[in-house]
């Protein structure tokens, strides 16, 4: 069992004991998603894969917030933001824009990328280094800026 999975299980137990309904609901969502992937793929997820899953869940909620705000549903956007806050507790510390730029620059140099046609190569090298620690949309913009 992965250490992140253990941490999530312990956090779920703590939330039950503290009777923190909203936090518990989000933790159960995370655990259910992990379990769904494990059952569907018949594997046990490692920490890297769980981080990717948490990153995906965060992105989904950010998209939902955008949609709710456009529809004038601030209360639903607030619920999504609260879920993001809980999910981010289990993600590593976010990288600064300067740190991301350094990683991207190193990847461009290592891959010998010279234009937009090489973006896939650069992203393939950058993604494992920033997974769960940066918004992939922002990373993609930085890669485009350096290649363009």
For 15-34, write each residue's pLDDT tens digit: 999 999 999 999 999 999 99
Selecting from 1.10.1510.10, 2.40.160.10, 1.10.760.10, 3.30.930.10, what CATH number does the domain 3-88 have? 1.10.1510.10
- What confidence category does residue 122 fall into, taking pLDDT thresholds of 50, 70 and 90? confident
Question: What pLDDT shows up at residue 2?
Answer: 63
Both tokens assigned to 80: 């999504």
Torsion of CA 63, 47, 101, 97, to 10 degrees: 50
Question: What pLDDT shows up at residue 89?
Answer: 92
- What confidence category does residue 123 fall into, taking pLDDT thresholds of 50, 70 and 90? confident
83 vs 125, residue with greater confidence: 83
pLDDT in tens, 66-87: 999 999 999 999 999 999 999 9
Q: What mean pLDDT is reported for the chain?
A: 90
- The residue extents of the domains of the chain are 3-88, 97-147
Kindly tell me if the per-residue pLDDT of 1 is higher than 60: no
Class for the domain spanning 97-147: mainly alpha
Do 62 and 88 contact (CB within 8 A), yes or no? no
- DSSP character for 118? G
């Amino acid at each position: 069992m992965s250490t992140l999975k253990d941490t999530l299980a312990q956090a779920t137990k703590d939330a039950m004991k503290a009777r923190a309904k909203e936090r518990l609901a989000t933790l159960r969502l995370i655990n259910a998603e992990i379990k769904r992937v494990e059952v569907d793929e018949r594997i046990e997820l490692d920490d890297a894969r769980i981080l990717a899953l948490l990153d995906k869940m965060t992105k989904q909620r950010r998209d939902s917030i955008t949609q709710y705000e456009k529809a004038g549903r601030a209360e639903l956007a607030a619920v999504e933001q609260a879920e993001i806050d809980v999910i981010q507790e289990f993600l590593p510390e976010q990288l600064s824009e300067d740190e991301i730029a350094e990683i991207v620059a190193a990847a461009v140099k290592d891959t010998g990328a010279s234009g937009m046609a090489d973006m896939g190569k650069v992203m393939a090298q950058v993604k494992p280094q920033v997974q769960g620690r940066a918004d992939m949309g922002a990373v993609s913009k930085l890669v485009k800026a350096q290649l363009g």
